[in-house]
């Protein structure tokens, strides 16, 4: 502008000069004094705005006129100059706007003017462009943030999808485990049931054993009392045998005396000679009888001895039997106690098995409920997975969009 300033005067002069001739030319075909005016105006019209009416050529009468015309030409030239400058500034502004529109370059807007008419307009443009610059900057920043956020969202969404898939797998596994648990608890219930059955059978057997042991103890007591009776009988028998022994002793004594008597009788008979012969024979017979009796009593004595030994053995056996039955009774008592213990233990086992059975049944019900719940959870998780897939897709799209936006925004150069 400042450079143009020196040219301003001539230009306005030229313009005014050009104007003037137009007016003057149309006025008339000038006479000679007017020729200087005409030439100057023609020159100005031809484009030389510096051209002025030379005062020396117009003469005295035209001096005033030349001076006025030159003033007009000066004004014209300066006006032309101003116009030119304004056009230049407008061109510059247009260029900037074109480049803004074409390339989105906001940085090139640097246009200023001193033109009072153009000034507010350009200032308004400048404000608008400044506002646009701020927008672009903010949008750019926002796009960058959006891009990174979208990336984060995508990452998060992808992770969520992965997690959701893993969760689905875990839930599936859990469901399978719960199924296994259900089967296991059914198995346990079955086992507990069979334990309860076996315990019931054992209980019956132990009860039978208790009864048998009771009978055994009774039998032992019976045997013991029988043994006592046997011992009594043996003692009585022993006494009787002793009595027989004394009787046999008496018989023996009598037989011995008879033997002696018969012998002496035989001797008497023998002394009587022929007359005593028969007597002797009878005496000998008697003696033989007595000897027979003695033999018999000897045999009886042997028998008595044997009986004595046998009764002693029997008494010993009865005593042994008595102690054996006593120990048998004790053993029976111990066995009865043991069976009582077994009964109590089996009863407890049976109760425990029943409780286990009940608990496992409850557990089975609970497990089934858990399985159902897990199925629901699985369903929900599937939906979640699907949703997170969709979210991932959306996030990917969003990322793309953010990238695109960033790309688009990059076209606008704010700085």
- Residues forming contacts to another protein in the complex (CB under 8 A) are 256, 260, 263-264, 266-267, 270-271, 277, 280, 284, 287
CA dihedral of 289, 295, 299, 301, whole degrees rounded to 10 = 100
Of 193 and 245, the one with the shorter C-beta distance to another protein is 245
Element (H, E) at 186: helix 118-271
Of 97 and 284, the one with the shorter C-beta distance to another protein is 284
Between helix 5-27 and helix 35-46 the angle, nearest 10°, is 120
Here the tokens at position 227 are 């043994």
How many alpha carbons fall within 13 Å on the CB side of residue 312? 6
Between helix 63-103 and helix 5-27 the angle, nearest 10°, is 120
What's the min distance (Å) between Cβ of 283 and another protein? 9
What's the min distance (Å) between Cβ of 335 and another protein? 59
Of 5 and 305, the one with the shorter C-beta distance to another protein is 305
Of 68 and 247, the one with the shorter C-beta distance to another protein is 247
What's the min distance (Å) between Cβ of 253 and another protein? 10
**Distance between CA atoms of 345 and 347, rounded to whole angstroms?**
5
What's the min distance (Å) between Cβ of 305 and another protein? 17
Cβ atoms of residues 93 and 122 within 8 Å: yes
Of 62 and 276, the one with the shorter C-beta distance to another protein is 276
How many alpha carbons fall within 13 Å on the CB side of residue 49? 21
| Most distant pair of Cα atoms in the chain: their distance | 260
Between helix 35-46 and helix 63-103 the angle, nearest 10°, is 10
Here the tokens at position 95 are 């260029």
Here the tokens at position 277 are 């012969």
What's the min distance (Å) between Cβ of 286 and another protein? 11
What's the min distance (Å) between Cβ of 298 and another protein? 11
What's the min distance (Å) between Cβ of 302 and another protein? 16
Of 260 and 344, the one with the shorter C-beta distance to another protein is 260
Task: Tell me the backbone φ, ψ of residue 97, rounded to 5 degrees.
Answer: -65, -40
Of 52 and 287, the one with the shorter C-beta distance to another protein is 287
């Amino acid at each position: 502008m400042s450079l143009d300033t020196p040219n301003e005067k001539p230009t306005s002069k030229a313009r005014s000069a050009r104007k003037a001739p137009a007016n003057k030319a149309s006025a008339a075909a000038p006479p000679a004094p007017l020729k200087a005016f005409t030439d100057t105006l023609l020159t100005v019209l031809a484009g030389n705005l510096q051209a002025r009416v030379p005062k020396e050529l117009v003469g005295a009468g035209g001096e005033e006129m030349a001076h006025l015309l030159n003033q007009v030409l000066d004004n014209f030239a300066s006006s032309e100059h101003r116009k030119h400058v304004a056009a230049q500034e407008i061109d510059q502004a247009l260029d900037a706007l074109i480049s803004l529109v074409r390339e989105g370059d906001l940085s090139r807007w640097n246009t200023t003017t001193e033109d009072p008419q153009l000034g507010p307009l350009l200032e308004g443009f400048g404000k608008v462009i400044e506002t646009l610059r701020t927008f672009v900057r903010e949008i750019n920043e926002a796009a960058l943030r959006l891009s990174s956020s979208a990336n984060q969202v995508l990452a998060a969404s992808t992770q969520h999808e992965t997690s959701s898939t893993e969760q689905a797998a875990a839930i599936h596994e859990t469901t399978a485990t719960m199924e296994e648990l259900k089967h296991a608890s059914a198995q346990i219930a079955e086992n507990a049931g069979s334990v309860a059955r076996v315990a019931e059978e054992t209980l019956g057997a132990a009860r039978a054993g208790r009864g048998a042991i009771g009978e055994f103890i009774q039998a032992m007591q019976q045997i013991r009392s029988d043994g006592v009776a046997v011992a009594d009988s043996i003692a009585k028998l022993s006494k009787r045998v002793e009595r027989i022994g004394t009787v046999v002793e008496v018989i023996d004594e009598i037989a011995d005396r008879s033997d002696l008597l018969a012998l002496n009788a035989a001797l008497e008979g023998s002394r009587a000679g022929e007359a005593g012969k028969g007597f002797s024979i009878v005496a000998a017979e008697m003696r033989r009888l007595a000897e027979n009796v003695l033999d018999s009593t000897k045999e009886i004595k042997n028998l008595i001895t044997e009986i004595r030994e046998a009764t002693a053995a029997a008494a010993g056996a009865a005593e042994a039997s008595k102690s054996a039955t006593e120990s048998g009774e004790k053993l029976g008592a111990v066995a009865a106690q043991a069976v009582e213990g077994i009964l109590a233990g089996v009863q407890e086992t049976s109760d425990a098995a029943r409780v286990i059975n009940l608990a496992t049944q409850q557990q089975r019900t609970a497990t089934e409920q858990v399985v159902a719940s897990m199925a629901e959870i699985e369903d929900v998780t599937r939906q979640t997975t699907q949703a997170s897939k969709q979210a991932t897709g959306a996030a990917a799209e969003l990322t793309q969009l953010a990238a695109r936006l960033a790309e688009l925004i990059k076209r606008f150069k704010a700085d």
